[in-house]
Amino acid sequence: MSNLKNIQRKLSEGVSGWLLFEFNCYRGLLFNEKYLSYPIGQILNSITDYKTKAEINHPCSNNNQGRPLQVDFVLTDEMSNWKYAFESKWVGDSMVSLGSILWDLIRLQNLDKYHPDIKSYFVLSGFDKKISTILQNFDICYPINIKKKNDFVTINPTYLIFNLFKLDDSSKIYINERIKKYPKFNLYSKIRCRPAHRFPKNDIINMSFSTHIFEVLKPDKTHKINEL
């Protein structure tokens, strides 16, 4: 029986701990998005009887656009039905753009077209200070007493809701270009996620690295649009 009840906690704790271990073994210069695949794959493979598959072609990817877009990890049952999907983003020395994060979320949203029973997760992992800056700048997570920097994220105890119509112009252009390049993808004006499971959970544990796991929910079909 698959043991995915606490998948967000297990991934956030396991990946952050592994990064700290590798860093203390002087392998920090090797860190990148590809390097994250090792701990994520090991954890997924150990806690479930589903098949863990890496770098699977996205069903909405074009066949004539060179190397197809891929999903980092997919868990399938004995009938090869897609049950869970995972995309990861490494936050290191280079700045991560809001557009690139949202494009990963859009890619996960679109799995629903071909696999309506799938559950999708976005893994954001890397240097804790860099991630904290990103989350605060994008208002994905912010203290109540700090004024929001923009209005494109609505946060409540149940959901994070990204309103893409309220994005900055550069992020809109980035997403519109991706949709034009991959016309099989649907674009929705809103993206819903559940609040992230983070490790470490607070600043009491002083770690150089942190991992945030967001569950990306199925899109509301009434929010389908052609472009931003």
Per-residue pLDDT at 11: 94
Per-residue pLDDT at 134: 81
Whole-number Å distance between alpha carbons of 91 and 209: 10
The whole-model pTM stands at 0.91
Per-residue pLDDT at 29: 84
Beta-bridged to residue 89, according to DSSP, are: 124
Q: What is the DSSP annotation of 24-67?
A: HTT-GGG-SHHHHHHHHHHHHHHS-SSEEEEEEEPTT--TTSSS
Whole-number Å distance between alpha carbons of 8 and 37: 16
φ, ψ for residue 76, nearest 5 deg:
-120, 150
Q: Tens-of-pLDDT digits for all 228 residues of the chain?
A: 455 668 899 999 999 999 999 989 998 888 888 889 999 999 999 988 899 999 999 999 876 666 789 999 999 999 999 999 999 999 988 888 989 999 999 999 999 999 999 999 999 999 988 888 888 767 666 555 566 666 788 887 788 899 999 998 999 999 999 999 998 999 999 999 998 888 987 665 566 889 999 999 999 999 999 999
* Among 139, 136, 33, 171, CA closest to 93: 33
Per-residue pLDDT at 1: 41
Q: Which two tokens stand for residue 81?
A: 């039905």
Q: Reduced to 3 states, what is the DSSP secondary structure of residue 158?
A: coil
Whole-number Å distance between alpha carbons of 198 and 164: 24
Alpha helices in the chain (DSSP H): 7-24, 33-46, 98-109, 128-137, 169-181
Per-residue pLDDT at 143: 55
Q: How far, in Å, are 105, 123, 172 from residue 169 at the CA level?
A: 18, 25, 5
Per-residue pLDDT at 139: 67
Q: How far, in Å, are 58, 116, 143 from residue 226 at the CA level?
A: 20, 21, 34
Q: Which two tokens stand for residue 17?
A: 């701990």
